[in-house]
Homo-oligomer: A and B are copies of this chain.
């Protein structure tokens, strides 16, 4: 009986949280990544492409969302063997590569990587489970010159893709300074790990929660708008004051900020080391001409990831956009990174210092669109229409000539019976020109070129004087097809 049921058709759907990218969406992203790769290349970084699949063991658990340490990856078990997973970022695979090829790679090893990563998270609006990252890292250098270099490269990359100077700022901080502040606040011991984690994540959210929200999380905790309560770090008044002092330590000049940080870290050795490193980074950048109009010391930046050990940095776009509620707000962060000296050591047991940045590809693309810096539409093809089904060879010869001349062109390949459908197709393809040749034109050795862009303009405003001298359609010699099409395209 069951066999008599017609087979159920499969659903034509992307899995939840995944999406497809069409046409200009693909080419825009590619153009942006190519431009960034050019900058990375000039800085001496080499490309690395690892596979999407890693062993779960090699990946480790370094997802940003430490509140849910057991979730986040797509994983499956090989037949009674290893567990495999899709990479959730490009840093974990780099750490594996740096360990696996440590005898062959140059040291320090500068590499960049671009590609999709996967997160097994609950999808939401604009939140997908596959997205692009674009990373650059230097493995094997403990020098803060490596951190400074990445900050400079990030500034160059942003300007190269079309974010003008003044519309972005790269903010630099140092986890060691924060650790010094923690010491001063009495949060230094191993037994204070949980409290330090809460403090770190609270500071990281200051842009969203405001100082009051952060202060609440430093103390007893905070109830959010939905009524959910997040437990706080339980600091007393004096401890919280030290930490809050850190969050607003930024002054008008780098030197003043450094002086303020020196006060805050008091006699903490690690704290003083962190402040010194910040000073060095600022002076190395100044020597290359990267002043505070592009890169600033900002204690407000801590980055959420637990594995950072030294300098951390973040690129923020400072121009305003209108949010979904119509309010103006700063565009915000599009890239971030920092120094992580422990990831390679997981594999080798030896200290291998590393630092690197990850650009949020989709956010940066959205920023470029907001600034009108990308071409939203791709160039449509010239469409050679089919008036006479039996003369397909003639139409293919035309399209062949156009393509050989480097002009994007198509012959209509649908059912040619209804000519209106062919023009609708050309419209959907954003075609600039339709080429038409019926029997009469063929007999006379002619073709008709229909200017579809002009046609659309005339349709919009038929009375405009400006179009009167420009015909929307011309009859030209078949032999001049390429030259006449080119002329019309250049108008």
Contact = CB atoms under 8 A, between A and B. Distances in A.
A50 interface: yes
Interface stretch (A17-25, A239-247, A259-267, A478-486): A17-25
A74 interface: yes
B100 A347 contact: no
Interface stretch (A184-192, A224-232, A327-335, A405-413): A405-413
A76 interface: yes
A68 interface: no
Nearest to A132: B49
Contact of A400 (B20, B289, B397): B289
Most buried by B among A129, A138, A392: A392
A248 interface: no
Contacts of A15: 51, 53-55, 78, 82, 84
Contact of A97 (B20, B50, B146): B20
B53 A145 contact: no
A141 interface: yes
Contacts of A26: 47-49
A50 B396 CA distance: 30
Given A349-B9, A394-B287, A20 B41 contact: no
Interface of A is mostly: mixed
Interface string A1-42: 000000001111111001111110111001000000000011
A18 B108 CA distance: 25
A58 interface: yes
A393 B10 contact: no
A87 to B, nearest CB: 11
A414 to B, nearest CB: 5
Nearest to A25: B49
Contact of A108 (B11, B107, B414): B414
B49 A21 contact: yes
Contacts of A47: 21-23, 26-27, 30
A408 B283 CA distance: 23
Contact of A408 (B44, B346, B347): B44
A338 interface: no
A145 B411 contact: yes
A20 to B, nearest CB: 5
Most buried by B among A106, A348, A409: A106
A96 interface: yes
Contacts of A403: 42-43, 156
Interface in A218-274: none
A13 to B, nearest CB: 6
Contacts of A44: 381, 408-410, 429
Nearest to A406: B42
Contacts of A287: 393-394, 396-397, 400
B396 A110 contact: no
Contacts of A316: none
Given A11-B55, A107-B425, A396-B145, A48 B20 contact: yes
A204 B396 CA distance: 31
A469 interface: no
A378 interface: yes
A263 B294 CA distance: 77
A169 interface: no
Nearest to A349: B9
Given A11-B55, A141-B414, A347-B12, A21 B46 contact: no
B106 A10 contact: no
22 contacts: A9-B347, A10-B346, A12-B58, A12-B96, A12-B100, A12-B347, A13-B58, A14-B100, A15-B82, A20-B48, A20-B50, A21-B50, A25-B49, A41-B408, A44-B408, A52-B52, A52-B86, A52-B116, A52-B118, A106-B425, A106-B429, A141-B414
CB-based closest 9 A-B pairs: A44-B410, A288-B400, A12-B99, A287-B393, A76-B76, A141-B413, A44-B381, A26-B47, A18-B51
